[in-house]
């Protein structure tokens, strides 16, 4: 869509039409004297703003044709800002026009300066709404890596890093607390890489007993041990041509670490009970919530294996370090579970939103999802409360005791408000109790985006 601001003036009085045409500067002006001409311009030019005289021919003394024009414009272009004018029954016309979807109203005789301000504001609001729709469409289209829902710069930095390294065939290590989305990001690495047509094979090394983990990874031959009734491929083989995700790599026992190191060096494996080497071409992505540096220093994790796995290390911030994301994710989970479980809860009460913003989320996204799922079931009305989330009286306010914390507090408050208002600038300003110009200045100063 062009950046040119297009204004359509619908006015049957030729003299007034000329006056209005020359009253505005900086706009691409189009004019129409009747309904047919107006609709033709709407179809061809798609103006963002329309000034519409309700008294149009063939009944210039009435408003029937004007209201019909208004309805048709909004049917064709619902986002158009239509400013209606009439000198006939102004109050009744105003109420009806607004009810039909008009953006604003002014009464004849026309004050050019006042109308100019209304038109300028209409273009500004239209541009903001268009930007909000663009951002929403981008989010729904999965523009953020792996379909991850986030608006936090800390997390967007992580996704951009992953997008840069995905194309390089190197091992990636994801470090972060439990529940921060490590597997989701690992899938993002796979889906953004040239191996995306291959299999994504995940294994949680902490969930499998040590005696079975080797078999799960490397496979076994028939008769290799009691119960091995058939030859079975391991996870590494199944990831041929794709990506192998080793979750909780820190729980791999030392003896198995040696065998895993040999595979990473030679890209060859041997099944349990076999001496035949098998070549495997797979990319390895691993993750852990443990401090591997400390484990290496204590001798609980091999240093040579660590450097094989950690060619690229990416640290994932906790949910508490991503202001605003808790609110975004909570809305997503509520919509998801309200639909799948057919519950009546559709939104969050103000106390629930405040509690979500203030809670530290030690269990991260996993804890948030579980609380919202439970709340969707337990909520008695259409709104989920802090009590439904089991967060009533639990969320402590964020302490601020130094002047140096002012900027940090401002950033967090603005990002929480942006998330709660779903990126709407006017709504965010109202939540913060400041004007939109002040909010714009703060966002510019802190380099924040809606």
Which pLDDT score, from 0 to 100, does residue 88 have?
A: 56
Tell me what the mean pLDDT of segment 423-428 comes to: 85
Residues 289, 160, single domain; the answer is yes
Mean pLDDT, the chain, integer: 86
Alpha carbon distance 368, 322 (integer Å):
13
Q: Which of 278, 296, 317 is the last residue of a domain?
A: 317
256 within some domain: yes
Residues 233, 368, single domain; the answer is no
Please tell me the least confidently modeled range out of 66-75, 126-135, 387-396: 387-396
274 within some domain: yes
Which pLDDT score, from 0 to 100, does residue 143 have?
A: 46
Per the CB < 8 A criterion, the answer to whether 264 and 252 are in contact is no
Alpha carbon distance 417, 385 (integer Å):
18
Residues 187, 311, single domain; the answer is yes
Residue 74, helix vs strand vs coil: helix
All residues at 6 or more sequence positions from 122 whose CB lies less than 8 Å from its CB, including other chains: 48, 49, 81, 83, 103, 104
377 within some domain: yes
Residues 169, 120, single domain; the answer is no
Q: Who has greater pLDDT, 256 or 4?
A: 256
Residues 176, 301, single domain; the answer is yes
Percent of the chain surpassing pLDDT 90: 44
* Phi, psi dihedrals of residue 422, rounded to the nearest 5°: 55, 40
Residues 186, 313, single domain; the answer is yes
Centre a 10 Å sphere on the Cβ of residue 413 and count the other Cβ atoms it contains.
Answer: 17
Q: Domain with 61 in it: what CATH number?
A: 3.40.50.2300
Q: Domain with 331 in it: what CATH number?
A: 1.10.8.60
Per the CB < 8 A criterion, the answer to whether 205 and 183 are in contact is no
All residues at 6 or more sequence positions from 401 whose CB lies less than 8 Å from its CB, including other chains: none
Residue 450 has pLDDT above 70, yes or no: no
Residue 25 has pLDDT above 80, yes or no: no
Residue 127 has pLDDT above 50, yes or no: yes
128 within some domain: yes
The total number of structural domains that make up the chain:
3
Residues 192, 306, single domain; the answer is yes
Token output for 374? 């439970």
Token output for 254? 């030392």
Centre a 10 Å sphere on the Cβ of residue 444 and count the other Cβ atoms it contains.
Answer: 9
Centre a 10 Å sphere on the Cβ of residue 65 and count the other Cβ atoms it contains.
Answer: 19
Q: Which CB contacts under 8 angstroms, 24+ apart, belong to 140-143? A: none
Host domain of residue 259: 149-317
Tell me what the mean pLDDT of segment 352-374 comes to: 90
144 within some domain: no
Q: Which of 261, 295, 317 is the last residue of a domain?
A: 317
Which pLDDT score, from 0 to 100, does residue 399 have?
A: 41
1 within some domain: no
Residues 160, 290, single domain; the answer is yes
Q: Which of 251, 284, 317 is the last residue of a domain?
A: 317
Beta strand pairing status for 232-233 and 219-220?
antiparallel
Residues 43-53 have pLDDT tens digits of 989 999 999 98
Residues 265, 384, single domain; the answer is no
Tell me what the mean pLDDT of segment 307-332 comes to: 91
Which pLDDT score, from 0 to 100, does residue 3 have?
A: 61
248 within some domain: yes
Residues 213-243 have pLDDT tens digits of 999 999 999 988 888 889 999 999 999 999 9
374 within some domain: yes
Between the CA of residue 342 and those of 252, 339, 345, 347, what are the distances in Å?
42, 5, 9, 14
Residue 400 has pLDDT above 50, yes or no: no
Q: How many residues does the chain have?
A: 450
Residues 23, 52, single domain; the answer is yes
Which pLDDT score, from 0 to 100, does residue 142 have?
A: 41
Which pLDDT score, from 0 to 100, does residue 94 have?
A: 80
Residues 240, 355, single domain; the answer is no
* Phi, psi dihedrals of residue 80, rounded to the nearest 5°: -65, 135
Q: Domain with 252 in it: what CATH number?
A: 3.40.50.300
Residue 352 has pLDDT above 90, yes or no: no
Which pLDDT score, from 0 to 100, does residue 85 have?
A: 84
Confidence of residue 436 (pLDDT cuts 50, 70, 90): confident
Q: Who has greater pLDDT, 275 or 134?
A: 275
Helix axes 254-266, 210-218, angle to 10 degrees: 10
Residues 115, 50, single domain; the answer is yes
């Amino acid at each position: 869509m062009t950046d040119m601001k297009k204004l359509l003036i619908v006015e049957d009085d030729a003299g007034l039409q000329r006056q209005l045409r020359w009253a505005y500067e900086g706009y691409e002006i189009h004019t129409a004297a009747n309904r047919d001409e107006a609709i033709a311009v709407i179809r061809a030019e798609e103006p963002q703003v329309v000034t519409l005289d309700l008294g149009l021919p063939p009944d210039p003394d009435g408003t029937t044709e004007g209201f019909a024009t208004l309805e048709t414009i909004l049917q064709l272009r619902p986002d158009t800002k239509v400013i209606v004018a009439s000198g006939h029954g102004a109050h009744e016309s105003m109420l009806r026009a607004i009810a039909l979807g008009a953006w604003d109203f002014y009464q004849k005789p026309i004050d050019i300066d006042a109308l100019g301000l209304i038109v300028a504001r209409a273009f500004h609001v239209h541009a903001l709404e268009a930007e909000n729709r663009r951002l929403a469409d981008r989010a729904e289209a999965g523009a953020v890596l792996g379909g991850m829902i986030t608006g936090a710069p800390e997390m967007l930095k992580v996704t951009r890093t992953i997008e840069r390294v995905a194309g390089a065939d190197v091992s990636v290590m994801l470090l972060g607390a439990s529940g921060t989305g490590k597997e989701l990001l690992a899938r993002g690495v796979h889906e953004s890489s040239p191996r995306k047509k291959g299999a994504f094979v995940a294994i949680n090394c902490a969930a499998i007993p040590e005696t079975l983990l080797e078999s799960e990874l490397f496979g076994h031959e028939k008769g290799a041990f009691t119960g091995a009734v058939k030859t079975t491929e391991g996870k590494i083989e199944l990831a041929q041509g794709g990506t192998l995700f080793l979750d909780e790599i820190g729980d791999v026992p030392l003896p198995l670490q040696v065998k895993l190191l040999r595979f990473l060096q030679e890209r060859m494996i041997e099944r349990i009970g076999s001496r035949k080497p098998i070549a495997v071409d797979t990319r390895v992505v691993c993750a852990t919530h443990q401090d591997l540096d400390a484990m290496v220093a204590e001798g609980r994790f091999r240093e040579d294996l660590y450097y094989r796995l950690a060619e690229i290390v990416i640290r994932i911030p906790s949910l508490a370090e991503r202001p605003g994301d808790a609110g975004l994710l909570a809305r997503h989970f509520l919509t998801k579970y309200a639909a799948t479980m057919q519950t009546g809860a559709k939104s969050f009460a103000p106390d629930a939103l405040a509690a979500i913003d203030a809670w530290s989320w030690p269990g991260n996204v996993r804890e948030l999802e579980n609380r919202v799922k439970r709340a969707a079931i337990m909520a008695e009305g259409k709104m989920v409360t802090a009590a439904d989330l089991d967060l009533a009286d639990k969320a402590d306010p964020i302490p601020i005791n130094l002047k140096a914390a002012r900027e940090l507090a401002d950033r967090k408050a603005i990002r929480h408000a942006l998330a709660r208002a779903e990126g709407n600038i006017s709504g965010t300003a109202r939540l913060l109790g400041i004007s939109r110009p002040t909010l714009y200045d703060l966002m510019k100063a802190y380099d924040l985006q809606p």
